[in-house]
Amino acid sequence: MAKKSAGGTPATVALTRAGIAFTLHEYDHDPRAQSFGLEAAAALGLDPAQVFKTLMTTVDPSTGSGQRGKLTIGIVPVSGQLDLKALARAAGGSKAAMADVAAAERATGYVAGGISPIGQKRPHPTVLDETAMAFDTVYVSGGRRGLDLGIAPADLVRATNATVAPISRS
């Protein structure tokens, strides 16, 4: 069962400022958990297809311009995996790779396992897996381990300026 709390993370502050409705869902996080997303789904009694993880990647530009890769967020169900090729296509790049954990933490201001797609230190291009649109509410990290936010997919798109595309695989 979800516990209610005052929250107070950059994600909740950003949503409140934007006037976007959300719900807070706290659970007791086990630091030994193999998958933080599956842990959240189980602890909150949710379908893992409805709980989404936030993954930081580096997407290389599609042109041979010699530019460095751009940090890009992929949001996919915890029940699946991020398809890096599909993410690169959706972000207009040629290839993608997972970003270094330390780089993701620096760029977002969050700790790995608690990275929210909302309220990051600076905005990053974001792609939300299209399966999110099948739900009235999806759940994403609230900005710390043990805290998820329930939010309408359209509001998540609005809050993150995300592109919606098929970027997950089973």
Burial class (CB in 10 A: 0-12, 13-18, 19+), 161: exposed
Task: Report pLDDT digits (tens) over 68-90.
Answer: 789 999 999 999 999 999 999 99
Cα(137)–Cα(151) distance, rounded to whole angstroms? 5
Which SS3 state, helix, strand or coil, does residue 67 take? coil
- Mind listing the domains of the chain with CATH numbers? 11-169 (3.90.960.10)
**Cβ(159)–Cβ(151) under 8 Å?**
yes
Task: Report pLDDT digits (tens) over 128-166.
Answer: 999 999 999 999 999 999 999 999 999 999 999 999 999
Q: How confident is the model at residue 41 (pLDDT cuts 50, 70, 90)?
A: very high
Of 46, 52, 49, which is closest to residue 27 (Cα–Cα)? 46
pTM of the model: 0.91
CA-based radius of gyration for the chain: 15
Percentage of the chain exceeding pLDDT 90 = 83
What is the reported pLDDT for 34? 81
Cα(103)–Cα(47) distance, rounded to whole angstroms? 30
What is the reported pLDDT for 142? 96
CA 100 to chain centre: 16
**Other residues' Cβ atoms within 10 Å of the Cβ of residue 166:** 14
**Cβ(52)–Cβ(78) under 8 Å?**
yes
